[in-house]
Amino acid sequence: MTVFKILQYPDPRLQRKGRHVIEIDDRIREIIKNMFETHYSSENCAALAATQLDMPDPPYITVIDFSDKKNEPICLINGEITDHSGEMYEDEGCMSVRGIYEKVKRFSTVSVRALDESGKTITFTATGFMAKCIQHELDHLNGRIFIDKLSAFKRLRVDRKIQKTRA
Ligand code: NI
């Protein structure tokens, strides 16, 4: 078991895009196992994307579990949003941008298609926190983090705050 280091903004590796998974082989299975290990050993973690972790050539995979008992793991491989509706504007945070919570506009309902750990195609509709979570994670896998969605003014404020806490 390995616990990955969670990359911290402004690490440029957060801009990497996940590589789509062609085959779920031993390497991919090992990465998924270790992503869950990392998730469950991190406090207040709802989900993680491979691209925010310290690994070379991260695959297009996110692991999600925000259940109270941490016993509802969801793994999405090559996840994509196939349809969406509605809007929400709620606080968001990120394991790679610690201490920052900002409101971000998201779709309130999304239809999702992905492969599960066994390579089976799954489709489902997500709303509320799950919808927000999946959009946040798929952004990660496309090299974007939630503060990229802020206005220039708010982003500047966030960057200043981060600089201050690091100084
Ligand atoms: Ni995040």
pLDDT tens sequence across 102-133: 999 999 999 999 999 999 999 999 999 999 99
Amino acid of residue 14:
L
For residue 5, pLDDT beyond 80:
yes
Give residue 165's pLDDT: 86
Q: Kindly give the distance from the C-alpha atom of residue 147 to the centroid of ligand 1, in angstroms, as a whole number.
A: 10
Sign of the Cα pseudo-torsion (11, 12, 13, 16, in order): positive
CA–centroid distance, residue 45 to ligand 1 (Å): 9
Compute, in angstroms, the gap from residue 95 CA to the centroid of ligand 1: 5
Is 80 a catalytic site residue?
no
Percent helix, strand and coil across the chain, each rounded to 5? Answer: 35, 30, 40
Average pLDDT, the chain: 96
CA distance 102 to 91: 5
- Using DSSP's 3-state secondary structure scheme, residue 97 falls into coil
Q: How far is the CA of 139 from the centre of ligand 1 (A)?
A: 9
Q: What is the CATH number of domain 12-166?
A: 3.90.45.10
Q: What is the pLDDT of residue 144?
A: 98
Q: What pLDDT score does 122 carry?
A: 98
Q: Could you give the C-alpha distances from 114 to 16, 38, 90, 146, in angstroms and in order?
A: 20, 21, 25, 22
3-state secondary structure of 59: strand
pLDDT digits (tens, 9 = 90+) for 53-67: 999 999 999 999 999
* pLDDT band at residue 1 using 50, 70 and 90 as cut-offs: confident
**Distant-in-sequence, close-in-space partners of 19: CB < 8 Å, separation ≥ 6:** 57, 58, 59, 60
- Calculate the alpha carbon distances from 17 to 47, 113, 126, 135, 157 in Å: 17, 18, 23, 15, 26
Q: What percent of the chain has pLDDT over 70?
A: 99
Task: Determine the distance separating the centroid of ligand 1 and the alpha carbon of 145, expressed in angstroms.
Answer: 6
pLDDT of residue 20: 98
Separation between Cα atoms, residue 126 and residue 101, nearest integer Å: 22
Range 160-165 average pLDDT: 91
Q: Using CA atoms, how far apart are residues 11 and 84, in angstroms rounded to an integer?
A: 31
For the segment 143-156, what is each residue's pLDDT rounded down to a tens digit?
999 999 999 999 99
Q: Looking at 92, 102, 117, 137, which residue is catalytic? A: 137
Q: Return the pLDDT at 143.
A: 98
Instruction: Tell me, in angstroms, the distance from the centre of ligand 1 to residue 80's CA.
Output: 17
